A and B are shown apart, each in its own frame.
Chain A
Amino acid sequence: MSGPSTYEPASGFTRWLDKRLPILRLAHDSFVAYPTPRNLNYWWTFGAMLSLCLVVQIVTGVVLAMHYVPHVEHAMDSVQRFRRDVPFGWLIQPMHAVGASMFFIAVYIHMFRGLYYGSYKAPREILWILGCVIYLLMVATAFLGYTLPWGQMSFWGATVITNLLGALPLVGESIKNWLMGGFAIDQPTLNRFFSLHYLLPFVIAGVTVLHVWALHEAGQNNPTGVDVKSKADTVPFTPHATMKDLFAVSLFLILFSVFVFYMPDALGHADNYIPANPLQTPPEIVPEWYLLPFYAILRAFDFNIGPIDSKLAGVLAMFAAIGILFLLPWLDTSRVRSMRYRPIARQFFLIFVVVCVVLGWCGGQNPGRILAKAGPFSATLTWVQGGQVVEAPVSASSEGGFDQAAAAVEQQLRGQGATLTAVRREGATQGVVRGVVGGAEQTRTVRGETADAVEAEITTVRAEVGAAAPFFIVERRVPPTFTVTNLSQVMTAYYFLFFLLILPILGLRETPGRVPDTIAKPVTDGKAQGAA
């Protein structure tokens, strides 16, 4: 893409250096002369923001490590001390914490950009896969980092995630203990998480170099998805892209600063200011916002799939949700890159974006929360006012014959005039049947918005009727409901269908929109026109 180097050393020293280490030539070819398509829009500026984020995280992180104590009893105090007592700690600690969120905002936009404009298609498959590797490393680094302040969310988030690995068959338990360095999240875990959290950003930096290398080899994609035809379609990276990137970065920094200076804790969870307590679980365990969609996918699996139990299914689905991105270049069969010229795929893409946001919302909700129901919860209580209680023991000859024996005794009581009977099993073969003879049978139906409200109503009725009725028959009716879990299931289904069904099939069947001749064909005959 770059073509032969156009670098010409200007001074004696740079000529001398160029013969020995052509590093200035590399920088010039990569960031000055490098040709970028002239039609790039602002969605192409997020790479610069991400580079900045990585630098910010590493610089602030190295500073934080100078003051942080990776010990279960001192970790939280050391972070608070840094923030309160260390000069400019109030600034640097929130920069790091907020920086993580900013990093993810930028990376998600960057990824959706790649998805929309087909930047993963040939010849950019490796570029895309390296990007996925960076994202995976970012997730791991963020998770490890969130553990370090050793608050309640740190501790319990780490517990939940390491327990996920325990769901793997056979090796799960060993891997879990290996990762934790013990039988629970404890000092060894905190120590190693700190070490790995310090290591991984440098691995990210390394993979980023490969990512940029792959980018410069294949050349940038552009909003039309049509390859640049000639030099006239491009402009040099400096000053065109650099200035534009700097402008976008400035806007990004304004957003960043609003959080750092005015609401440094808005993106975190208040419970993480409570020191970790292994004996007390917080009322709800939620990851940081940027991992919520995957948490929702994990929890969508509340049913077993054949031999795979619900827990393992959730874990596999969660990893598959990221893993499937690696296969995307081969799942999308369309020969058209940009969705600008794929009118149907574009609609599905917009739904996909909404689905990801809804999954994020689901991940933050109580999974049992009812979003819609077909009717109220209700229960019918039946009791007999003023009757005589009779009891008869059941004694079956074998464990399996209990139900039959109990039915016979029930029949016998009914024959004696009992209007209500109830069986209570008290052992393998033993039980008691109670019945009420005489009195007046009464019923009452209670309703409520939730199952708990109905239970409360039932208790009230029982207290009201009191000793007059020795026992009740309660028949509970649960209306069909649509919970957050159900919503997550629908959204998870779409997430996977988008990659596994919609993109492969649509790519073969869709009629792409017409690319204007001015884009499809070189119109300048390779000559630059106007001021570049």
Chain B
Amino acid sequence: MAEAASGAHEDETTRRDFIFIAAGAAAAVGAAATVWPFIDQMNPAADTLALSTTEVDLSVVELGQQVRVLWQGKPVFVRHRTPAEIASAQRDDYATLKDPQLDSQRLLQSNGQAGRPEWLVLQASCTHLGCVPTFVEGSAFGGWFCPCHGSDYDTSGRIRRGPAPHNLYVAPYVYMNDTTIRIG
């Protein structure tokens, strides 16, 4: 009977064509909806997302030292800069920079308020391929040096030499009080 119908109206769109397309479309949507949970399960889980802030007590960091803390599993530098380092960072605001940024911009808190020049909070991943730069050692600019491919950062964490395309990213942070910051 189906043959008879299609023979009679060969060029016409039949009810059956509509049903085929509708059923195919519904199956495609159904397949996508079934596959999606199996893909999405690989995204960061709720407990991983919940660990998204870290608090740091600044009073334990001596002048001229830095601490490395883990934030979202990634290392973050909190550096207590000396007046000489601050001066050097500000002086170089107008040096030839690959990724020009003022030192004061790099100190901004995540709520938009100005930071304090003695505390620099940076993500400790080289913007080249994610290695952790060393503290001062090897750096011709007194900042950080990446041992992997030789990227050299100044005392403001700006890229000065080497393959990295960007400055060390500033970690989002705010001051909770005078001696505590919250990262994230």
Contacts and interface: CB of A to CB of B under 8 A. Distances in A.
A177 interface: yes
B124 to A, nearest CB: 8
Contact of A160 (B90, B95, B129, B147): B129
B131 interface: yes
- Does more than half of chain B's interface fall in helix, strand or loop, or is it mixed? loop
Nearest to B93: A427
B91 A281 contact: no
A367 B150 CA distance: 9
A311 interface: yes
Contacts of A402: 94
B128 interface: yes
Given A164-B129, A181-B42, A310 B90 contact: no
From A163, A181, A182, A192, residue with most partner B Cβ within 10 Å: A182
Interface residues of A, number: 39
Given A278-B74, A368-B149, A182 B165 contact: no
A469 to B, nearest CB: 21
Contacts of B72: 182-184
Contact of A184 (B45, B73, B140, B147): B73
Interface in A289-347: 299, 302, 309-311
A177 B163 contact: no
Contacts of B68: 279
Interface in A354-406: 367-368, 402
B61 interface: no
Contact of A426 (B43, B91, B140, B163): B91
B165 A281 contact: no
A182 B163 contact: no
Contact of A278 (B43, B75, B93): B75
Interface string A174-189: 0001111111111010
A15 interface: no
Given A164-B129, A182-B72, A284 B147 contact: yes
Interface string A10-39: 000000000000000000000000000000
Contacts of A282: 147
B137 to A, nearest CB: 12
Interface string B60-104: 000000001010111100000000000000110111000000000
B70 A279 contact: yes
Nearest to A160: B129
B163 A455 contact: no
B43 A163 contact: no
A159 interface: yes
Given A368-B149, A425-B94, A426-B90, A281 B131 contact: yes
A498 interface: no
Contacts of A82: none
Contact of B132 (A181, A280, A284): A280
Nearest to B87: A426
A530 interface: no
B144 to A, nearest CB: 11
A368 B42 contact: no
A433 to B, nearest CB: 14
B130 A163 contact: yes
B147 to A, nearest CB: 5
B48 interface: yes
Contacts of B94: 402, 425, 427-428
A424 interface: yes
B48 A181 contact: yes
A188 B73 CA distance: 11
A178 B38 CA distance: 12
Nearest to A312: B165
A367 to B, nearest CB: 6
A278 B73 contact: yes
A4 interface: no
A150 interface: no
Nearest to A424: B91
B112 interface: no
A3 interface: no
Interface in B112-131: 124, 128-131
A156 interface: yes
B44 interface: yes
Contacts of B43: 177-178, 181
A284 to B, nearest CB: 7
A390 to B, nearest CB: 20
Contact of A310 (B45, B70, B148, B163): B163
Contact of B165 (A163, A164, A185, A309): A309
B42 A178 contact: yes
B93 A159 contact: no
B48 A188 contact: yes
A279 B123 CA distance: 11
Contacts of A311: 128-129, 165
B68 to A, nearest CB: 5
A493 to B, nearest CB: 19
Contact of B42 (A179, A278, A299, A310): A179
A427 B89 CA distance: 11
A142 B128 CA distance: 24
Nearest to B69: A279
Contacts of A285: 129, 131, 148
Interface in A455-480: 455
Contacts of A186: 48, 73
A471 to B, nearest CB: 15
A283 interface: yes
A284 B149 CA distance: 8
Query: 4 closest A-B pairs (Cβ-Cβ)?
Result: A184-B73, A183-B72, A281-B131, A163-B130
Interface of A: 156, 159-160, 163-164, 177-186, 188, 192, 278-285, 299, 302, 309-311, 367-368, 402, 424-428, 455
Given A284-B148, A285-B131, A425-B91, 14 more contacts: A177-B44, A178-B39, A181-B45, A181-B48, A182-B45, A184-B73, A188-B44, A278-B75, A278-B132, A279-B124, A367-B149, A368-B150, A402-B94, A426-B90
16 contacts: A159-B131, A177-B44, A182-B72, A183-B74, A188-B45, A192-B42, A278-B70, A278-B132, A279-B68, A279-B70, A279-B75, A279-B124, A281-B132, A282-B147, A284-B148, A368-B150
